[in-house]
């Protein structure tokens, strides 16, 4: 079958697929008004923190161990940028596609929890979710919302556990840290079988090997790859079709065509 445009080809592939793997990054959440950050650090990409650290250092496991107040200062700023933002039409369309095609999966590098909010169930949040907080010393768990509610105006960072006084941290992957075991094993299971008819890469330039790997594998297995991104990326060369535009707009155009 020949198609007049990449969009028409993408519409056809998405419509006829039984199972789709969506790989999503900051570009998808940019449509919710979030800055396109690299991992948890890109709000400050290329800049130094007030203390003169690279953001990767401020948001690293070793900084959190020795000077948690510094790590928390920047976690807090990133959290504030995400606060009150919510999922957008792009997340909603991906969740809707999963409802129609139950073997659809999402692999995301975003920590904003928007796929979860939008209703995606087959979801691998490979860098964790910032909204979930836990104590490093005991079994206490909380949410960012509860933390904000309890702290009101005066916030003393780092926050401490109300049960044991231990440090509270968000359930995200800091620099130098391993990826979460459960998410990794889910990812490897998918990579083992690669049961997808189409892979759609949305709003990520895939600087992370664990984001790149499934795309490379899809290419090797001749699974069609659709890239949704306003700019050229390292992955563009692997993609069968490029939709050059915003994530929500292009997902909408690819799906709402009936
Ligand atoms: Zn505790």
**pLDDT value for 36:** 58
Q: Give dist(CA 76, CA 196) in Å, integer.
A: 38
Q: Say if residue 149's pLDDT is above 90.
A: no
- Between the CA of 132 and the centroid of ligand 1 the distance, in Å, is 14
Mean pLDDT of all residues in 204-227? 93
Active site residues: 127
pTM of this structure:
0.91
| Domains assigned to the chain | 1-34+87-127+178-258 (3.40.50.1220), 40-84+132-172 (3.30.1600.10)
Mean pLDDT of all residues in 148-175? 86
- Between the CA of 108 and the centroid of ligand 1 the distance, in Å, is 29
- Between the CA of 171 and the centroid of ligand 1 the distance, in Å, is 14
Q: Give dist(CA 212, CA 201) in Å, integer.
A: 10
Q: Which of 197, 129, 139 is nearest to 168 (CA)?
A: 139
- Between the CA of 177 and the centroid of ligand 1 the distance, in Å, is 21
**pLDDT value for 154:** 64
Q: Say if residue 163's pLDDT is above 90.
A: yes
Mean pLDDT of all residues in 160-185? 94
What are the pLDDT digits (tens) for 13-57? 999 999 999 999 988 988 887 765 544 444 555 677 888 898 889
3-state secondary structure string, 115-149? HHHHCCCCEEECCEEEEEEEECCCCCEEEHHHHHH
């Amino acid at each position: 079958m020949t198609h007049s445009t990449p969009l028409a080809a993408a519409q056809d592939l998405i419509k006829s697929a039984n199972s789709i793997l969506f790989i999503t990054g900051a570009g998808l959440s940019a449509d919710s008004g979030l800055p396109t950050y690299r991992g948890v650090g890109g709000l400050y990409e290329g800049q130094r923190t007030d203390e003169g650290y690279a953001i990767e250092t401020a948001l690293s496991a070793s900084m959190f161990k020795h000077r948690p107040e510094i790590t928390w200062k920047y976690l807090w700023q990133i959290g504030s940028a995400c606060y009150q933002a919510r999922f957008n039409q792009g997340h909603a369309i991906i969740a809707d596609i999963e409802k129609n095609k139950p073997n659809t999966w999402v692999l995301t590098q975003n920590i904003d929890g928007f796929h979860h909010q939008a209703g995606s169930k087959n979801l691998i949040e490979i860098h964790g979710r910032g909204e979930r907080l836990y104590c490093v010393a005991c079994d206490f768990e909380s949410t960012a919302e509860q933390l904000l509610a309890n702290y009101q105006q005066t916030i003393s960072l780092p926050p401490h556990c109300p049960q044991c006084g231990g440090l509270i941290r968000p359930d995200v992957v800091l620099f130098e840290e391993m990826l979460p075991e459960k998410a990794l094993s889910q990812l490897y299971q998918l990579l083992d079988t690669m049961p997808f008819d189409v892979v759609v890469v949305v709003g990520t330039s895939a600087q992370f090997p664990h984001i790149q790997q499934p795309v490379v594998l899809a290419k090797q297995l001749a699974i069609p790859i659709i890239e949704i991104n306003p700019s050229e990326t390292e992955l563009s060369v692997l993609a069968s079709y490029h939709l050059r535009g915003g994530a929500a707009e292009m997902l909408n155009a690819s799906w709402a065509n009936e």
